[in-house]
Amino acid sequence: MTLRPWQRLGDETLTHYKVFHVRESRRRSPRTGAAIGFFLIDTPDWVNILPITADGELVLVRQFRHGSERVSLELPGGLIDPHETDPLDAARRELREETGYVAADVRPLGVMNPNPSMMTNRCHSFVATGCRRDGDLRLDPGEDIEVVTLPLDQLDAVVQRGEIDHAIVLATIAFWRANGSPTGIVGH
């Protein structure tokens, strides 16, 4: 059996918020012909940055996450703003805003679908090397962030202990590993 795309019959926006909206998308199954409604979340694309200092420290952020109702250890990242046409620009901005760090070099690692069953956006992952502190954080009103550094050689242990459990962060680490863990640091 060859899978075929479902025919889109129509969409209805159910609710609209600042950073996403929810719609019901009516689709026709190519296998059964049945018309079925699916709920989709439309949101701008995201970026995620794996920042590494010149001395081999990974720059992470801790922040309270309302979905899990706990503090999460993560890579910096966020939404691509409407005026940003290049995800690289958003990655550099998010790194500076959430950590106070800037990077000598930022390279793409890969692009993923955060949850293709119901979300229409993509997440662009980057590695930032030669990172150095350049000032204070520039947080949005809804953000409370603590910056944490971690020696790169401790990253696997932190992941194995479950201290990092954010799926998109783990996927970015996997992209980084799949790309040969490029750091620009001799010996890593």
Residue 174 lies in a domain: yes
- pTM value is 0.92
Residue 121 lies in a domain: yes
Indicate whether 96 and 26 sit together in one domain. no
pLDDT above 90 covers what percent of the chain? 89
Residue 1 lies in a domain: no
Q: What is the pLDDT of residues 102-161, one digit of tens each?
A: 999 999 999 999 999 999 999 999 999 999 999 998 988 888 999 999 999 999 999 999
Residue 123 lies in a domain: yes
Indicate whether 76 and 106 sit together in one domain. yes
Closest CA to 81 of 45, 123, 107: 45
Query: Domain tally for the chain?
Result: 2
CATH number, position 51: 3.90.79.10
Indicate whether 76 and 144 sit together in one domain. yes
Q: Is the pLDDT of residue 186 over 70?
A: no
pLDDT of residue 95: 98
Residue 58 lies in a domain: yes
d(CA 24, CA 31): 21
Indicate whether 107 and 60 sit together in one domain. yes
pLDDT above 70 covers what percent of the chain? 96
Indicate whether 62 and 152 sit together in one domain. yes
Indicate whether 62 and 149 sit together in one domain. yes
Number of H helices, E strands in the chain: 3, 11
Residue 53 lies in a domain: yes
pLDDT of residue 187: 38
Region of 130 on the Ramachandran plot (φ > 0 left; ψ -120 to 50 alpha; else beta): left
Average pLDDT value for the chain: 94
Indicate whether 68 and 121 sit together in one domain. yes
d(CA 175, CA 187): 20
d(CA 166, CA 188): 24
Indicate whether 82 and 164 sit together in one domain. yes
In this structure, the number of other CB atoms found within 10 A of the CB of residue 145 comes to 18
More confident call, 188 vs 96: 96
Residue 88's pLDDT band, with cuts at 50, 70 and 90, is very high
Indicate whether 70 and 163 sit together in one domain. yes
Q: What is the mean pLDDT of residues 151-177?
A: 96
Residue 67: which residues within 8 A CB-CB, separation 6 or more?
none
pLDDT of residue 182: 67
Domain coverage including residue 136: 46-178
Residue 148 lies in a domain: yes
Indicate whether 19 and 64 sit together in one domain. no
Residue 156: which residues within 8 A CB-CB, separation 6 or more?
none
Indicate whether 65 and 115 sit together in one domain. yes
pLDDT of residue 141: 86
Indicate whether 38 and 51 sit together in one domain. no
